[in-house]
């Protein structure tokens, strides 16, 4: 070995525990959240689109839409809006990662002795945190336009938690997309064609039974619909368990497929 004096090298065991990986993930989460503290208007911007949808469907189209069970349309609408908000919000995950790819920051992370998963868990944890704030604010908007929970507080909270679970799972799809595309502008353009059919050919705004029969199969069982139905059942009452299980199964399935895919993609970047 050489005897030359070198800067005191810190010695750390290369083998690291899952806990250390989680710790790296939280470090990256903190980094991703700093931007919202620095530019709080970013949160406001994420709210504009869902608020416009609430106003549009509550006051413009809503009068023409009849929903089964004789419940007020605003009550039907809001649980769907929560799901729609986090679904479109998942675009942020893709754009955030694509921006880091493009800037070269991920290359620096790549050369650091940190967990390979941390960039992705850090991104998705940060987006989950953002979604907690956004969904809470959307709930306030909902109550302001006349939304009323018909079950109880526990049902409402369970519904919100389900929406957040869905948000977390969904952000893994877009983490994969963002890493694969690696350019924020293209990512923005690429996500809409994926999201539009999921959000609009769904039970978010209108009952699926009003759609043509060829569309009903997709519209009934796709993840946005089952999650909207489950959240609706939790907040308004009615048969709940089946939708809830379907929604949780979708979330688990999405994470099981996309998380390893995204980590693989990160490892084999460039």
Separation CA 176–CA 260 (nearest Å):
9
The residues in 142-201 that bind another protein, with binding defined as CB under 8 A, are none
By the rule CB under 8 A, 39 interacts with another protein: yes
Contact stretch for another protein (CB under 8 A) within 14-22, 137-145, 239-247, 250-258: 14-22
Shortest distance (Å) from residue 218 CB to another protein: 39
By the rule CB under 8 A, 226 interacts with another protein: no
Nearest to 106 by CA among 188, 28, 19: 28
Contact stretch for another protein (CB under 8 A) within 19-27, 205-213, 228-236, 245-253: 19-27
* Residues 79, 158 contacting (CB under 8 angstroms): no
Cα separation of the two ends of the chain: 34
Shortest distance (Å) from residue 173 CB to another protein: 24
Separation CA 185–CA 191 (nearest Å):
10
Biggest CA-to-CA distance, the chain = 84
Contact stretch for another protein (CB under 8 A) within 68-76, 101-109, 132-140, 216-224: 101-109
Which are the contacts of 258, defined by CB distance < 8 A and separation ≥ 6? 172, 173, 175, 176
Footprint on this chain of another protein (rule: CB under 8 A): 1-2, 4-12, 14-16, 20, 24, 27-28, 31, 34-35, 38-39, 102-105, 107-114, 118, 269-270
């Amino acid at each position: 070995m050489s005897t030359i004096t070198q800067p005191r090298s810190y010695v750390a065991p290369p083998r690291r525990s899952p806990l250390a990986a989680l710790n790296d993930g939280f470090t990256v989460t903190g980094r991703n959240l700093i931007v919202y503290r620095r530019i709080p208007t970013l949160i406001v911007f994420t709210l504009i689109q869902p608020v416009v949808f609430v106003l549009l469907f509550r006051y413009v189209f809503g009068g023409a839409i009849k929903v089964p069970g004789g419940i007020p349309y605003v009550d039907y609408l809001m649980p769907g809006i929560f799901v729609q908000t986090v679904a479109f919000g998942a675009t942020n995950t893709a754009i955030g990662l694509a921006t880091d790819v493009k800037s070269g920051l991920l290359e620096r992370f790549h050369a650091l002795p940190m967990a390979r998963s941390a960039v992705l868990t850090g991104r998705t944890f940060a987006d989950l945190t953002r979604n907690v704030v956004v969904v809470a604010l959307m709930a306030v908007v909902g109550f302001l336009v006349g939304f009323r929970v018909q079950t109880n507080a526990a049902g409402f909270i369970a519904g919100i938690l389900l929406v957040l679970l869905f948000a977390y799972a969904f952000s893994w799809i877009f983490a994969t997309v963002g890493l694969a595309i690696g350019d924020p502008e293209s990512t923005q353009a690429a996500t809409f064609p994926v999201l539009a059919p999921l959000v609009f050919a769904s039970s978010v705004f209108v009952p699926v039974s009003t759609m043509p029969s060829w569309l009903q199969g997709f519209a009934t069982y796709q993840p946005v619909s089952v999650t909207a139905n489950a959240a609706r059942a939790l907040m308004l009452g009615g048969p709940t368990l089946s939708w809830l299980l379907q929604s949780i199964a979708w979330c688990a399935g999405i994470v099981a497929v996309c998380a390893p895919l995204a980590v693989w993609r990160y490892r084999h970047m460039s």
